């Protein structure tokens, strides 16, 4: 049997127990709610971070693609520029080779001109030599001044120069004309009218005039051109 005091104590205990259980139940229920909120928040945070990561990756991918496109365009431009420079270099090499060949040709032409000039200068000097020098020049070549015995020979010789020494001269101490080969003039020869006249007593050499197509006795120190024959 329980007394009222026991009842009330028991009720208090039950009430306290109920209250404690109720308080504990609320406490437990509240902990569960807070845990759920934390879990949802963490999940949202993870999703947000994942979304941000995806956005950053997409942005970076777009930036990389843009950079790749710009890099590709730059490579194309540089490659094209390199190829153009190579073509220009090759053209310059060809032009340089052509210029070198032209330079060599010009040098050859220059040398030919110099040789021709030197020959002309030598010819000019020869043209101003007297008969003695003229004959010496022929002898150095293994020949001698030309001997004319026919009209055809004279026509051939006069075609070379306006005035030409020939191999005929007055024999010393004699009034005879002698060729360079030691033979004397045979016949009258091809003298100009009134020649030989030996106007001052010293006209001992003979020249052929193209204009007169005949011979004339002159001073041996005159400077004319000459024709050699071997």
> Parallel, antiparallel, or unpaired: how do β-strands 144-145 and 228-229 relate?
antiparallel
pLDDT of 38: 60
Counting Cα atoms < 13 Å in the Cβ hemisphere of 33 gives 6
pLDDT of 13: 39
Token duo for residue 98: 């052509």
List pLDDT tens digits, range 189-203: 999 999 999 888 889
pLDDT of 22: 41
| Predicted TM-score (pTM) of this structure | 0.47
Q: CB neighbours of 178 closer than 8 A, spacing ≥ 6?
A: 168, 169, 170, 171, 184, 185
Burial of 202-228, coded b for 16+ CB within 10 Å and e otherwise, reads: ebbbbbbbeeeebbbbbebeeebbbbb
CB 145 within 8 A of CB 129: no
Higher pLDDT, 80 or 1: 80
pLDDT of 64: 66
Q: What is the mean pLDDT of the chain?
A: 79
List pLDDT tens digits, range 97-135: 999 999 999 999 999 999 888 887 776 666 557 888 899
pLDDT of 57: 60
pLDDT of 21: 39
Among 45-59, 87-101, 131-145, 159-173, whose mean pLDDT is lowest? 45-59
List pLDDT tens digits, range 156-176: 999 989 999 999 999 776 778
C-alpha span between 218 and 196 (Å, rounded): 9
CATH number of 130-229: 3.10.100.10
Domain borders along the chain are 130-229
Query: What pLDDT band is residue 35 in, cutting at 50, 70 and 90?
Result: low
């Amino acid at each position: 049997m329980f007394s009222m005091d026991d009842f009330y104590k028991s009720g208090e205990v039950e009430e306290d127990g109920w209250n404690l259980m109720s308080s504990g139940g609320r406490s437990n229920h509240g902990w569960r709610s807070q845990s759920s909120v934390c879990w949802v928040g963490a999940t949202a945070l993870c999703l947000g971070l994942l979304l941000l990561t995806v956005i950053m990756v997409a942005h970076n991918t777009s930036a990389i693609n843009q950079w790749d496109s710009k890099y590709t365009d730059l490579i194309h431009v540089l490659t094209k520029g390199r190829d153009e420079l190579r073509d220009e270099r090759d053209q310059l090499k060809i032009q340089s080779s052509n210029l070198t060949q032209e330079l060599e040709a010009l040098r050859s032409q220059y040398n030919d001109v110099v040789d021709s000039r030197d020959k002309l200068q030598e010819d000019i000097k020869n043209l101003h030599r007297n008969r003695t020098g003229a004959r010496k020049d022929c002898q150095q070549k293994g020949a001698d001044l030309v001997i004319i015995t026919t009209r055809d020979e004279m026509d051939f010789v006069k075609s070379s120069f306006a005035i030409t020494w020939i191999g005929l001269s007055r024999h010393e101490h004699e009034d005879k004309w002698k060729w360079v080969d030691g033979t004397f003039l045979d016949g009258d020869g091809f003298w100009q009218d009134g020649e030989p006249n030996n106007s001052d007593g010293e006209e001992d050499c003979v020249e052929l005039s193209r204009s007169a197509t005949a011979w004339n006795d002159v001073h041996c120190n005159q400077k004319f051109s000459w024709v050699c024959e071997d």
